[in-house]
Amino acid sequence: MAGKGKLVTQGVKLGIKYGPQIWVATQALRDPAKEAANKAISSERARRQAMAHARSLADGSILKVYKGDVAHWVVFSGDEAVDVHPHTDMLLATLVGRADLTKRIRPDDKVKATDRAKDAAAAALRRAKPNQIN
């Protein structure tokens, strides 16, 4: 099969020509990708801790709020804010002062990440096309 040899030769030539640029690009993009992944993992870990805490409370629920670009999960017992995960030095009243408390998640809701993503996509679609009726 003569085509395979030509393909390999062309691949080697392109690797020699563009390999150094690809290596530099991967090294430059590695740190931001790691930071984004670590941020997502820590937010999910904090959500799980907050959900476990809410399960132990009477009428427990959680709400996602942001302090800067960091997501925090506030734990509620009824309508009273009890704790925040990950812990922060900011007062709970300040964190939830402008938040929409109707978006709280209860432990028995059984909402998966895929369900949350579908809901967010549907909401974005509704915002993009407000004049259409579903």
In a domain, 1, yes or no: no
Q: What is the predicted pLDDT for the residue at 26?
A: 84
Domain tally, the chain: 1
The DSSP H or E segment spanning 63 is: strand 60-67
pLDDT tens for 22-36 read: 888 888 888 888 998
In a domain, 18, yes or no: yes
Q: Are 106 and 80 in contact (CB under 8 A)?
A: no
pLDDT tens for 84-127 read: 999 888 888 888 888 888 888 888 776 677 777 777 888 888 88
- Collapsing DSSP to helix, strand or coil, 18 comes out as helix
In a domain, 90, yes or no: yes
In a domain, 133, yes or no: no
- Total-model pTM: 0.61
Distance separating alpha carbons of residues 39 and 47, to the nearest angstrom: 12
Q: Is pLDDT above 80 for 130?
A: no
Domain region containing 65:
7-128
Distance separating alpha carbons of residues 112 and 125, to the nearest angstrom: 20
In the block, tokens 């709280």 appear at 104
